[in-house]
Amino acid sequence: MTQFTTRPELTGTFGMVTSTHWIASSVGMSMLEKGGNAFDAAVAAGFVLNVLEPHLNGPGGDMPAVIYSAESARTEVICAQGTTPAGATIKHYKSEGIDVIPGDGMLATVIPGAFDGWMLMLRDYGSMTVREVLEPAIHYARHGHPLLARVAASIAGLSGFFAEHWPTSYATWVPNGRLPQAGELFKNPVLADTWDRLAAEADAAGNRELGIEAARHAFYHGFVAEEIDTFCRETEVMDASGSCHRAVLNGADLAGWNATIEAPQTATYHDWTVAKTGPWGQGPVFLQTLKLLEGLDIAAMDPSGPDFVHSVIEAMKLSFADREAYYGDPEFAKVPMATLLSADYNSARRKLIGEKASNILNPGTISGFEAQRRATLDLIGGMAQGAVYEPTMAHLTEKRGDTVHIDVVDRWGNMVAVTPSGGWLQSSPIIPSLGFCLNSRAQMFWLTEGLPTSLEPGKRPRTTLTPSIAWHQDGTRLAFGTPGGDQQDQWQLAFFLRYAHHEANLQAAIDLPLFHSTHFPASFYPRTGKPGGMLIEARAGEATIAELRRRGHDVEVSGDWDIGRLTAARRDTSGLLRAAATPRLMQAYAVGR
């Protein structure tokens, strides 16, 4: 078996916070040290990440969280994925002259959900006030933070477009006409003012719970909603379609929506149970792939060898094909989840995993869904080819938005895995009175009738955001996740399988060479895929790469440490806490004591 040098995982008994930025991890830990719990820490870290990594997430974005409450002993999902506006119809978008929803601009916007999700988490599970969890973010927005090199590069790459087409973004990201440099202090005082005003609304309410409700009202009914409404009505901007468009979002859409708490989708795998979002997200592909692989002897395979990589890639191709044909918002579409996770279905599908790589997209055939399957394949067959990636691969473009991730576990056993995203600086123009922009999540929809992901008013996009919590039958609990669009569940799957079967050290499991498939259509504009394609880190070794090519995989080799930004936190039955974060990009951190 190939050996790799790895750092030790972090251990402690007080609390653990992992995130995609060291300052956010430290802020989360500071909330625990002030007496807060895991939920308080996650909320504070989430708001700080809006400031520190604006190329990856923002206040106008969205987030799902999988949480475990020690008090109730329940694992639940907070769905803060905003839905489409009332005016988001296929007819309207077709009338705008587009066939695929662009990945930026105003037409791609859905209701911003993240703020309400954070407030719901704080109200129902946290212990701190709005002011307490917002104060660190207000500080860094007002007084400045060291600008990440990747943020500076993103701004530089888009500055010409901003100057010509999105002047409000140019004013925010290129203050006084000067490109900000990596490492220098960067400020967003308008965003600081927005959050300060929300905190002031909460302060005036008189107590913690009323304050949270006051902040929610101010965002979705009050001054924030009013500013969003005005900006959407008055702004027409260029987007990736090559034309200018207005949003369909308005204040009434915000006022009619709120984040929700729901039961997770779960599945067992040997001695583990894993909790994910429902099929309004891609999370169940992780569960489906586990059920496919449960019938193979993964434990006997070298975790960096060709048998392991081939088996996981081929199983993921089958699960992601089912994602394309069957997943969508279950409030609008019937999703045959029980069948997709059943032993009989996966036993039959497992037989499709052969010695050679598959180059076809092959959803399973489910009784009553035959027409839907055909319609999906007809649509995807007409799409262009050519893989679309997320910028978590260091060798690729800086101009595409992505995601952040936070894991928190506290001394009481509370646990949070949350993946905020959307509202990137690349997604749409800055609303100048608020200091943030809206999201572009509507690009996940198809403008073809009759599919589970067809555009409809009030519908959740099939998001790629997919945090995870798993628990072993001995009581050990694990929170984990990563940024990375369509790759999120792929990287998490490789990590989880290695952790469950090969490497009980979290850091060692994260550090093993990563890989993913580009076989299926991307969830992001322009929705392309690369049949048979895969990407793998060079550290997997020449022998493994050569064997994968012999088996028919179209292999692209990345640098040694280019793929994925996994983080994880665990609580043992003894109360010992452990955490780890990827060294890739030298940006994610685990902190604790």
pLDDT digits (tens, 9 = 90+) for 277-314: 999 999 999 999 999 999 999 999 999 999 999 999 99
Reply yes or no on whether the pLDDT at 387 is more than 70.
Answer: no
Q: What is the mean pLDDT of residues 565-579?
A: 96
Span 94-142, pLDDT tens digits: 999 999 999 999 999 999 999 999 999 999 999 999 999 999 999 999 9
Strand partners, 469: 275, 479
Contact yes or no for 443/421 (Cβ under 8 A) = no
Contact yes or no for 122/261 (Cβ under 8 A) = no
Q: What is the mean pLDDT of residues 478-483?
A: 96
pTM here is 0.95
End-to-end CA distance of the chain: 33
Span 510-546, pLDDT tens digits: 999 999 999 988 888 777 778 899 999 999 999 999 9
Reply yes or no on whether the pLDDT at 382 is more than 60.
Answer: no
Strand partners, 558: 537
Span 186-204, pLDDT tens digits: 999 999 999 999 999 999 9
Span 344-369, pLDDT tens digits: 999 999 999 999 999 999 999 999 99
pLDDT of amino acid 21? 87
pLDDT of amino acid 385? 53
Contact yes or no for 567/588 (Cβ under 8 A) = yes
Q: Is the dihedral of CA 448, 449, 455, 459 positive or negative?
A: negative
Distance CA 250, CA 233 (A): 7
Both tokens assigned to 180: 């900000």
Span 232-282, pLDDT tens digits: 999 999 999 999 999 999 999 999 999 999 999 999 999 999 999 999 999
Strand, helix or coil for residue 521: coil
Confidence of residue 401 (pLDDT cuts 50, 70, 90): low
Reply yes or no on whether the pLDDT at 393 is more than 50.
Answer: no
pLDDT of amino acid 397? 38
Distance CA 377, CA 374 (A): 5
In order of their start, the domains of the chain are: 33-61+78-259+415-444 (no CATH), 262-398+464-592 (1.10.246.130)
